[in-house]
Chains A and B, each alone.
Chain A
Amino acid sequence: MSRRVLPGLPLTLGITLLYVSIIVLLPLGALVFKAASLGFYDYWRIVSSPRAVASYRVTVLAALAATAFNLVFGFALAWVLVRYRFPGRRLLDAIVDLPFALPTAVAGIALTALFAPNGWFGMLLAPLGISVAYTITGIMVAMCFTSLPFIVRSVQPVLEDLDTALEEAAQTLGARDGTIFRQVMLPLLTPALLAGVSLAFARSLGEFGAIIFIAGNQPFETEITSLLVFIRLEEFDYPAAAAIASVMLIIAIVMLAVINILQARSLRYMARAR
């Protein structure tokens, strides 16, 4: 066997498994254990309570909308950053990471100030009858803000590697621009887009800090699941908090599984090439 740069496999495997167990699996296990302590009837009563169901609806809908928006906008942003050279490109590239770096609560307060009826954006939108702050739209805006980098950073490197000769080849074969985009570029970018979508959606589902400032947090209206879990914790109702959190866990796992399957399908040509 050839010499490896990093130390032996058994050691690294052991350390990483231990790490994953302590940092990831243990808390999740505790969550499931706590939720299971309720018994099926109580568990069902808590997770299917109208307030909880309303919070799932708000969270998932807003996350879907934010992810769809970022899919288009993030892709466009990645496209611009990769394919065009313009003054300030480096700066724009750096700004994309800002939502990662900024404490989410700061982002939430800033967005609230902007979109409040007397804020800069809110003032312009109010005459049009659009209110963003303290509505589900506000939740969506906050989710868009915090999850934007995921799509951009997933697509950017793949787009950079995409050989422009492929587009030129399709052109010489007589294809129109729309056809080239749909049949040549999109299939090659799909795995990266899906990876970005799954990360952005997961981040939106779990977002807390940025949202609670802009959402208004009216139960049944603008209360996200993370907040409901937090409220239950404040009330020392740990089993209920765990039960509601477990629903989010299930949604996240299902979503990741679906996206993994889609990704595997879109990478079929690479699997068969091996």
Chain B
Amino acid sequence: MRIRLASVVKTFNTFRAVRGVSLDIPSGELVALLGPSGSGKTTILRLVAGLEFVDSGEIYFNEENATDIPVRDRGVGFVFQNYALFPHMTVAENIGFGMKVSAVKRSRAQIQERVRELLGITQLDGLDERFPAQLSGGQRQRVALARALAVDPRVLLLDEPFGALDANVRHDLRRWLRGLHEELGITTLFVTHDQEEALDLADRVVILDKGHIIQDGTPEDVTRRPVSAFAMQFLGDVNKFGAIVTDGIAALEHGVTVAASGVRNGPAEVYVRPADLQWSAEAPGLPAHILRVMSRPGSRRIVARTDSGETVEIDVDQDHPAATGDAGYLRIARATVFAADR
């Protein structure tokens, strides 16, 4: 089902959580709302669910105006950050709850059959008589998902779905959830503050800050063509250099230049990913010396200080001979330039 938000505004007391957000999510898409805390991402999710109501603007489900439909009639599946499983009910009772209380009457046998099916889909076979307290974090997460899917939701909403899990469980669940989404094809919206999670899982990433949409695009769009310094910084580690732009060329110190077509003349900021910086023993480049070298599974990260006193990070090959105390030069292989704020 297609979801459309039109100029949605939501204020809590004096805090403007969402400030005029418009968003169009085609049916069957898996979309990540990515942003730091306080960016309004969870509020948007709760507005779509009907757990909060907009101050102004509209929310459409397909062509239907869903703005004022109460949560229980919206037909959304919501997975809460801490799962919110009913602690006094077994796994099977949790999953069956939505069907039991539904206005659509189902027989006990029908409910049992559907619960069994969902236990299979979520790989929880044999755990139906357990209580939530007897499950691992990953299992609880899947119970919460099964419970949300049991009511045949028109849209699936996930609030920080992997936030409380170990790194390796998270990785597996992410891949599993992507597979499940492809199988079921339910329009899915999830909230995360983890850029890697958003890029790995989503068809489309919506980057939010202070209640506004900063950028809305495919993982490729947002990583390769960030529209602002905020998007650039939020999507991963980045080094920042001051520069002056003259006719499409950004000039840094020591005669280093990078292309900056389309950036207005004047002071600018040059953003470079650690992997797009190179370390060389000889000039040309920005002179610097190495403070520290960290080992990563497939690479080494150099922390260096330029002669002008800025600390930078550089990713190099794992066989690179760099060592603490070395002096050398930084070369910029790829950079993104934004005009400095006036």
Interface residues in chain A, defined as those with a beta carbon under 8 Å from any beta carbon in chain B: 163, 165-166, 168-176, 179, 183-184, 187-188, 269-270, 272-273
Query: Is there an interface contact between A165 and B82, defined as CB atoms closer than 8 Å?
Result: yes
Q: Which of chain B's residues have a CB closer than 8 A to the CB of A174?
A: 72-73, 98, 101-103, 151
Q: Which of chain B's residues have a CB closer than 8 A to the CB of A188?
A: 87-88
Q: Which of chain A's residues have a CB closer than 8 A to the CB of B87?
A: 188, 269-270
Query: Is there an interface contact between A168 and B72, defined as CB atoms closer than 8 Å?
Result: no
Chain B: number of interface residues, binned into ranges: 20 to 34
Does B318 interact with chain A (Cβ within 8 Å)? no
**CA–CA, A273 to B90, complex, Å?**
10
Listed by A's residue number, 17 A-B pairs whose Cβ atoms lie within 8 Å are A163-B82, A165-B80, A165-B82, A165-B84, A169-B84, A171-B51, A172-B76, A173-B97, A173-B147, A173-B150, A179-B101, A183-B101, A184-B86, A188-B88, A270-B87, A273-B131, A273-B134
Within 8 A of A (CB), among B125-141: 131, 133-134
Q: A174-B102, A175-B97, A176-B101 are in contact. Are A168 and B80 (CB under 8 A)?
A: yes
User: What 4 pairs across the A-B complex have the smallest Cβ distances?
Assistant: A173-B98, A273-B133, A165-B84, A169-B84
**How does the 8 Å CB contact mask read for B91-115 relative to A, with 1 for contact and 0 for none?**
0000001100111000000000000
Within 8 A of A (CB), among B212-266: none
Q: Which of chain A's residues have a CB closer than 8 A to the CB of B291?
A: none
Q: A163-B82, A269-B131, A273-B131 are in contact. Are A168 and B51 (CB under 8 A)?
A: yes
Q: A183-B101, A272-B131, A273-B134 are in contact. Are A176 and B80 (CB under 8 A)?
A: no
Chain A min CB distance to B147 (Å): 7
Query: Is there an interface contact between B134 and A171, defined as CB atoms closer than 8 Å?
Result: no
Having A171-B51, A172-B49, one finds 17 other A-B pairs with CB under 8 Å, namely A166-B84, A169-B86, A169-B147, A170-B86, A170-B97, A172-B72, A173-B147, A174-B101, A174-B103, A176-B72, A183-B97, A184-B86, A269-B87, A269-B133, A270-B87, A270-B133, A273-B131
Q: A163-B84, A179-B101, A188-B87 are in contact. Are A171 and B131 (CB under 8 A)?
A: no
Q: Which of chain B's residues have a CB closer than 8 A to the CB of A168?
A: 51, 71, 78, 80, 84
Q: Which of chain A's residues have a CB closer than 8 A to the CB of B72?
A: 171-176
Q: Which of chain A's residues have a CB closer than 8 A to the CB of B150?
A: 173
Query: Is there an interface contact between B71 and A171, defined as CB atoms closer than 8 Å?
Result: yes
Chain B min CB distance to A271 (Å): 10
**CA–CA, A188 to B134, complex, Å?**
17
Q: Which of chain A's residues have a CB closer than 8 A to the CB of B35?
A: none
**CA–CA, A240 to B41, complex, Å?**
73
Does B118 interact with chain A (Cβ within 8 Å)? no
Does B77 interact with chain A (Cβ within 8 Å)? yes
**CA–CA, A171 to B88, complex, Å?**
17
**CA–CA, A179 to B27, complex, Å?**
32
Q: A172-B71, A174-B102, A188-B87 are in contact. Are A272 and B97 (CB under 8 A)?
A: no
Does B119 interact with chain A (Cβ within 8 Å)? no
**CA–CA, A270 to B133, complex, Å?**
8
Q: A269-B131, A273-B133 are in contact. Are A173 and B84 (CB under 8 A)?
A: no
Does B202 interact with chain A (Cβ within 8 Å)? no
Q: Which of chain A's residues have a CB closer than 8 A to the CB of B32?
A: none
**How does the 8 Å CB contact mask read for B137-158 relative to A, with 1 for contact and 0 for none?**
0000000000110110000000
